[in-house]
Amino acid sequence: MPEKDPSLRMTGKELLIVLVISLGSFMAGLDATIVNIALPSIAKAFSVSTVLASWVLNAYLIILVSLLLAAAKLGDIKGYKQIFIIGFAIFTAGSALCGMAPGIDLLIFFRMIQAVGGAIIAALGSVMVTAYMGEKVRGQALGLVAMFTMLGVALGPVIGGFLTSSFSWQFIFYVNIPVGILALLLGIRVIPTIPPVAAKSRLDTVGALLIFIALSSLIIGLNHVQAGEITSGAGGLVLALVAGAALYFREKKVPEPLIALSIFKNRSYTFQNIDILILQMGLAGVMFLMPFYLEIVKDLPTGTAGALLLSLPVGNILTAPIAGKISDVIGTRKPIIFGFIVMIGALFLLSQLSVSSQTHEVALYLFILGAGAGIAYAPLNSAIMSESPESERGMSSGLLKMMTNLGSTLGVTVTLLVASFSLGPKMAQVAAHTLKPAELASAFDVAFLFCTAIQVIALVLILMVKEKKVGRIPIHQN
């Protein structure tokens, strides 16, 4: 029997590099969900309203999404290792400050500091894997990073609930400190130093400001629309549109743009980025609405509902590394297509749920959905980065993370609007148990069918993509 090609396996040093990057992804995924469950405790501790406490989440999301492209560009200019280490240090320090915050105002401010570090470690993850790994192991490396991200997302509510109930809400931030210190020490020691890919470039600060205005207005506007505040929500969305248009015309003219618009002439690159956004919309929409179905329609305890929801990230965790490794051998296109087909099937099954559906059916469908997403996500990451010119890989990594986070935001808002439109009354009434379970189940079915339809669009887009193979990227170590 012939031996396996050793180039298809990562070396010990490569595994350590991926571990450090994965720790960053784990922390980013963890902090995306760990705070949610502690919000009631935070609101109670500071004697503030739920609306004000929600800005502990909103402020983090706005800064994170807005700075992803700027953070990626800084990595191109200053070098990935240096900026990545600085990002980890900021994130860890911000976590410590959040835990020590004496009031809600400072907690929100410290969350913004934490988000700056989070944006850096999130933005540079994919580009560092692309820069440090050869094409024969790149897919499996990205699969491991995706697995750690979903592991963080999955464990966030569990760890957050345990720490908050056993100790206090402060410990949801303190838990980041030992992980951050470990990652810093490992990163300084094992991450290679390579020459910056755009050392003579300059950061487009005006472009970064316009991105901040556009995305923050979009997120705030969507939150207002979701809350039924149509006038203020529309104002935010109009401001986002104006800032987006200004950004487009600036990036066309500026010598060193934050977003190289010319790269979108590559149809494969554009379609695959859209697919990342659509994939994440489907996952976020399901994860937002499913607790309502489980707790209101099925009348399950919160703990049981949370345990059932873990089926989705478990499916993702089990398939993402395998799909990444397979894509290194057979290419990215086939796994992406298969992953979307699996997701479409799972979402269609979810759209058939009723009051009489069994909980094991829900768990199975969620697992299949997570598995399909895991099969598609890592190869999509690899395909997008492979389509990127070397000088634009930092920008592509930041854009990829931005599309992922935007997908989450749009997925929650749009599926909620679809369900609310189907219901007639506002979603607030649903939370107050004012509608019959059968009516709720029907509305959720419409929303899940919408999620199915947009994944079909994603499948059509990937069918229009031609696969591209690239060569190994050399590493220059100091």
pLDDT confidence tier of residue 365, bands split at 50, 70 and 90: very high
Mean of the pLDDT values across residues 173-198?
90
Under 8 Å between Cβ of 305 and 295:
yes
The domain segmentation of the chain, as residue ranges, is 1-201, 204-257, 263-478
Return d(Cα 129, Cα 133) in angstroms, integer: 6
More reliable by pLDDT, 435 or 386: 386
Between CA 79 and CA 199 the distance in angstroms is 8
pLDDT band of 88, cuts 50, 70, 90? very high
- Quick one: average pLDDT of 110-115? 94
Shared fold status for 1-201 and 263-478: yes
CB atoms within 10 A of CB 241: 14
Nearest to 213 by CA among 326, 67, 73: 67
Assign domain 1-201 one CATH number from 2.40.50.140, 3.40.50.720, 3.30.70.20, 1.20.1250.20: 1.20.1250.20
CA 345/CA 96 separation, integer angstroms: 43
255-265, pLDDT tens digit by residue? 888 888 888 88
The pLDDT of residue 477: 37
User: Which one-letter DSSP state was computed for residue 175?
Assistant: T
Q: Is the pLDDT of residue 350 over 90?
A: yes
Give the pLDDT band (50/70/90) at residue 171: very high
pLDDT band at 435 (very low <50, low <70, confident <90, very high): low
Q: Band the pLDDT of 371: cuts 50, 70, 90.
A: very high
In the chain, the percentage of residues whose pLDDT exceeds 70 is 91
Q: CA quadruple 111, 117, 121, 124: dihedral positive or negative? A: positive
Question: Mean pLDDT across the stretch 422-450?
Answer: 69
More confident residue, 219 or 239: 239
Q: Each residue of 124-151: b (16+ CB within 10 Å) or e? A: bbbbbbbbbbbbbbbbbbbbbbbbbbbb
Summarize the confidence of residues 13-39 as an average pLDDT. Answer: 82
User: Helices 104-132 and 135-166, interaxial angle, to 10°?
Assistant: 160
pLDDT at 109: 96
* pLDDT for the residue numbered 459: 97
Task: Measure the CA–CA gap between 450 and 322, rounded to whole angstroms.
Answer: 29
* C-alpha to C-alpha distance for 147 and 65, rounded to whole angstroms: 21
pLDDT score for 8: 64
pLDDT at residue 133 in the model: 81
Give the total residue count for the chain: 478
Q: Which residue has the tokens 């190869």?
A: 379
Average pLDDT, the chain: 84
pTM over 0.85: no
> Which residues lie closer than 8 Å to 213 by C-beta, 6 or more apart?
239, 240, 243
The whole-angstrom separation of Cα 174 and Cα 168 is 10
**Residue 425 pLDDT > 60, yes or no?**
no
Is residue 316 pLDDT above 60, yes or no? yes
Degrees, nearest 5: CA angle 245-223-401? 60
Q: What is the pLDDT of residue 223?
A: 75
**Res. 343: pLDDT tops 60:** yes
CATH 1.20.1250.20 fits 263-478, yes or no: yes
Check whether 3 has a pLDDT greater than 70: no
Specify the DSSP class assigned to residue 2.
P
CA 80 to chain centre: 20
For residue 367, what pLDDT band results from cuts at 50, 70 and 90? very high
DSSP 8-state assignment for residue 391: G
Q: Which pLDDT band holds residue 28 (cuts at 50, 70, 90)?
A: confident
Percent of the chain with pLDDT strictly greater than 90: 31
- 264 touches 270 (CB < 8 A): yes
Highest mean pLDDT among 26-35, 102-111, 195-204: 102-111
* Chain position carrying tokens 């959905």: 369
Closest CA to 473 of 128, 198, 74: 128
Nearest to 196 by CA among 72, 291, 334: 72
How many whole angstroms separate alpha carbon 25 and alpha carbon 328?
A: 21
Quote the CA–CA distance of 414 and 226 in Å, as a whole number.
9
Residue-wise DSSP of 188-237: HHHSPP---TTTT----HHHHHHHHHHHHHHHHHHHHHHTT-HHHHHHHH
Q: Which range in 78-87, 136-145, 305-314, 415-424 is most confidently predicted, on average pLDDT?
A: 78-87
Give SS3 for 278. Answer: helix
CA neighbor of 150 nearest in space, from 17, 294, 279: 279
Asked if residues 306 and 159 have their Cβ atoms less than 8 Å apart, the reply is no
